[in-house]
Amino acid sequence: MRNLEVIMEQMRQGLALGALLLLGGLAVAGPSGVLAWNESASLLNDRRDQVAVLQKETQDLRNRVALLDPDNADPDMVGELLRQNLNVAHPDELVITLDPPAE
């Protein structure tokens, strides 16, 4: 009976040790462990850079939208869009067409 109690206690200690080793391994090498911190920090910096680029693009687009306000449109912006989208030109402008480069 005494031997059975000793064996059971050793099994409990072994299971507890295994659980602690598993938790320790996950804390070091798991998906959110110490080794993953560097990668996470790198991804965070990349995302911050992307956000900065997107915020600049958003600001540029807001500026273009403001320049195209129907009540007070910027003549240069309107002229640029007319030339780009409708292929129009002033009578005093010369249009030169270029052949596409040969492949």
Say if residue 103's pLDDT is above 80: no
Strand (E) or helix (H) holding 12 = helix 2-29
> How confident is the model over 60-87, as a mean pLDDT?
86
pLDDT, position 46: 95
CA 66 – CA 60 distance, rounded (Å): 10
Q: According to DSSP H, which parts of 30-98 are helical?
A: 34-67, 75-86
CA 9 – CA 4 distance, rounded (Å): 9
User: What is the pLDDT confidence band of residue 61, given thresholds at 50, 70 and 90?
Assistant: very high
Give 20 or 39, the one with higher predicted confidence: 20
Query: Could you give the count of Cα atoms lying within 13 Å of 84 in the half-sphere of its Cβ?
Result: 6
Other C-beta atoms closer than 10 Å to the C-beta of 49 total: 10
Q: Over the stretch 24-44, which tens digit does the pLDDT of each residue have?
A: 888 888 888 878 888 888 899
What are the tokens at 71? 């009540």
Give 24 or 55, the one with higher predicted confidence: 55
